[in-house]
């Protein structure tokens, strides 16, 4: 017998999309769940047909994918957290905005409507006992349980409490984990000063710190770190005027691993203008704790005194379970190697940020993002149910750096590649002193064969299908200044293929 969070009821079929902005109500609704409340003990079934390891977007997508092919499926989702499956993307953006409710896991969308980060209400999920009834169409969830090993031959999963479950089909969605900074790893007492943003509990601790502390340093230049630095600084203007947010990274500018240097430096200037202390081209050389404060000595010669440090950016695939299970790890990108159908072994699949998949146009790679998690999870689920379809979608990465810029990227976004940019009306590339806002912009990334392999859209909406088409056609030597005009044309909803939205548990059953 185990004492874990096990929630649910019968679930219908459907297809999960990558979008989480849906029509909801204008006023904050009553509480929809008590995420930390534990229910009575339940006994795990000895065997399930479909076992999904992980409680994030990939597992939710897989659940919908399975039931689209196999409507009578019985599915068990097992998560490390006690929270029902939820979206992580809002934890660095929307959950910091005015009107958000961290206790009820609600945020206010751009149109003023409220949305929960939970994918479904508690009554979507079934009691574990229902999985013992072969005629029941059920989806059950167990929280607070970590898988430690998968035996692909015996088709059995072992958990950290000593229990185990046999499966017919299994999906691993282990995601990413924060990497400790080497200069902080062995510092006595550092645990009290460290924060991450990979879970709801992390977010709650971080927001409490933002309400109480005087100084917080965010390490990293990537999307999560940059979003979080802006979000915390904006939050502090409303909730804690004494808080100073510092962002530290060794690169030349924000998002340097993704965008050309001129764009990275422009973004850094924008964040500085918002009151964030951005320190580029610097890293932690040493650290010490003095009078309950963390003193960071930087390679630039500066000394920063902070209350907390956020490990926001240096994320790596979480492959502990894969290694313990003897699965292949990609030596280049660090992900779990899967084939074109997202299978790592027979009847064992991997989806989301941790998967190293083969892209027929761009080669083997790994991709992080909400849409990628849902899309790979959905396809893996369909394949688990017998679809046997290859993964070929160019998934979308998006990032909202506050009110500064919205970025959407498809394909290989590697600034070491040759890039061609087209901005309208003002270009930060042509004017290095440009400090204004970008109205619209497109950045094309080209390989050695002069073929577009990646496209970054700046404040351009509804053009993802156009970008996908350009990359899929693989045409060399395009006149990209002319191609860019395709992205400046007025957006028509008919141009984009309809995306299935994830249901909102605030208002939908």
Q: Has residue 33 got a pLDDT over 70?
A: no
**pLDDT band at residue 100 under the 50/70/90 scheme:** confident
Instruction: Quick: pLDDT tens for 243-273.
Output: 999 999 999 999 999 999 999 999 999 999 9
Q: Has residue 30 got a pLDDT over 80?
A: no
Instruction: Quick: pLDDT tens for 290-304.
Output: 999 999 999 999 999
Average pLDDT over residues 319-323: 97
**CB of 357 closer than 8 Å to CB of 391:** yes
**pLDDT band at residue 112 under the 50/70/90 scheme:** confident
Q: pLDDT at position 434, please?
A: 74
Q: How many helices (H) and strands (E) does the chain have?
A: 8, 29
Higher pLDDT, 99 or 229: 229
Q: pLDDT at position 290, please?
A: 97
Higher pLDDT, 404 or 18: 404
- Strands across the sheet containing 293-298: 284-290, 293-298, 303-306
Identify the residue whose tokens are 């029902």. 84
Q: Has residue 417 got a pLDDT over 70?
A: yes
| Distance between CA atoms of residues 256 and 60, nearest Å | 32
Q: pLDDT at position 12, please?
A: 34
Q: pLDDT at position 6, please?
A: 41
* Region of residue 352 (left: phi > 0; alpha: psi -120 to 50; beta: else): left
**pLDDT band at residue 313 under the 50/70/90 scheme:** confident
Query: Mean pLDDT across the chain, nearest whole number?
Result: 87
Token duo for residue 245:
């947010």
What percentage of the chain has pLDDT greater than the value 70? Answer: 86
What percentage of the chain has pLDDT greater than the value 90? Answer: 71
Q: pLDDT at position 44, please?
A: 87
28: which DSSP letter?
A: P
What domains are there in the chain, each with its CATH number?
A: 5-177+317-384 (3.50.50.60), 180-313 (3.50.50.60), 404-488 (3.30.390.30)
Q: pLDDT at position 5, please?
A: 40
**CB of 321 closer than 8 Å to CB of 149:** yes
261 by Cβ neighbours in 10 Å (0-12 / 13-18 / 19+) ranks as middle
Beta strand pairing call for 156-159 and 147-151: antiparallel
Average pLDDT over residues 400-412: 94
Task: Detail the DSSP E strand segments found in 34-137.
Answer: 47-53, 74-78, 106-108, 114-116
| Distance between CA atoms of residues 354 and 332, nearest Å | 13
Q: State the alpha helices, DSSP H only, in 429-505.
A: 464-473, 480-483
Q: pLDDT at position 126, please?
A: 85
Q: State the alpha helices, DSSP H only, in 240-324.
A: 261-273, 320-324
Identify the residue whose tokens are 């809002």. 90
Average pLDDT over residues 334-359: 96
110 by Cβ neighbours in 10 Å (0-12 / 13-18 / 19+) ranks as exposed
**pLDDT band at residue 136 under the 50/70/90 scheme:** low
Cα dihedral 208, 210, 214, 215 in deg (nearest 10): 120
Instruction: Quick: pLDDT tens for 222-251.
Output: 999 999 999 999 999 999 999 999 999 999
Tally of CA atoms within 13 A in the half-sphere of 212 that contains its CB = 8
Per-residue burial over 446-471, b = 16 or more CB atoms within 10 Å of its CB, e = otherwise: bbeeebbbbbbbbbbeebbebbbebb
Q: Has residue 215 got a pLDDT over 60?
A: yes
Q: pLDDT at position 497, please?
A: 41
């Amino acid at each position: 017998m185990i004492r874990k969070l096990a929630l649910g009821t019968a679930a219908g079929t459907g297809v999960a999309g990558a979008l989480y902005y849906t029509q909801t109500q204008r006023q904050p609704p009553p509480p929809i769940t008590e995420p930390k409340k534990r229910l009575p003990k339940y006994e795990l079934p000895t065997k399930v047909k479909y076992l999904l390891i992980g409680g994030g977007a990939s597992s939710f997508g897989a659940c919908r994918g399975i039931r689209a092919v196999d409507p009578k499926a019985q599915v068990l989702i097992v998560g490390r957290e006690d929270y029902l499956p939820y979206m992580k993307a809002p934890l660095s953006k929307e959950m910091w905005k005015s009107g958000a409710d961290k206790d009820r896991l609600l945020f206010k969308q751009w149109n003023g409507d409220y949305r929960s980060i939970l994918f479904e209400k508690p009554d979507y999920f079934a009691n574990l006992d229902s999985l013992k009834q072969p005629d029941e169409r059920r989806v059950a969830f167990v929280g607070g349980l970590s898988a430690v090993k998968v035996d692909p031959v015996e088709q059995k999963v072992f958990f950290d409490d000593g229990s185990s479950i046999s499966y017919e089909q299994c999906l691993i969605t282990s995601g990413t984990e924060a990497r400790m900074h080497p200069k902080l790893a062995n510092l006595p007492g550092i645990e009290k000063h460290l924060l991450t943003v990979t879970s709801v509990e992390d977010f709650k601790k971080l927001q409490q710190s933002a309400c109480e502390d005087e100084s917080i340093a965010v390490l990293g230049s990537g999307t999560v770190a940059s979003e979080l630095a802006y979000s915390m600084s904006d939050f502090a203007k409303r909730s804690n005027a004494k808080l100073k947010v510092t962002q530290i990274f060794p690169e030349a500018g924000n998002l340097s691993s993704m965008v050309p240097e001129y764009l990275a430096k422009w973004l850094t200037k924008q964040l500085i203008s918002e009151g964030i202390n951005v320190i580029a081209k610097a890293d932690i050389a040493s650290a010490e704790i003095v009078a309950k404060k963390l003193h960071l000595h930087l390679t630039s010669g500066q000394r920063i005194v902070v209350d907390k440090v956020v490990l926001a950016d240096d994320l790596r695939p979480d492959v502990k379970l894969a290694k313990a299970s003897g699965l292949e790890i990609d030596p280049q990108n660090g992900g779990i190697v899967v084939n074109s159908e997202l299978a790592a072994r027979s009847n064992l699949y991997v989806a989301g940020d941790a998967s190293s998949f083969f892209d027929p146009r761009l080669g083997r790679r790994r991709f992080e993002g909400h849409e990628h998690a849902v899309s790979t999870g959905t396809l893996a689920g369909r394949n688990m149910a017998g679809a046997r379809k290859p993964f070929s979608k160019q998934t979308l990465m998006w990032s909202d750096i506050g009110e500064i810029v919205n970025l959407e990227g498809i394909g290989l976004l590697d600034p070491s590649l040759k890039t061609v940019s087209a901005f309208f009306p003002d270009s930060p590339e042509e004017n290095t002193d440009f400090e204004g806002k970008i109205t619209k912009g497109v950045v094309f990334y080209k390989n050695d064969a002069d073929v577009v392999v990646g496209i970054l859209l700046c404040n351009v909406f509804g053009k993802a299908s156009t970008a996908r088409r350009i990359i899929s056609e693989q045409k060399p030597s395009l006149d990209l200044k002319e191609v860019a005009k395709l992205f400046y044309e007025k957006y028509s909803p008919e141009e984009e293929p309809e995306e299935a939205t994830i249901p909102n548990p605030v208002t939908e059953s």
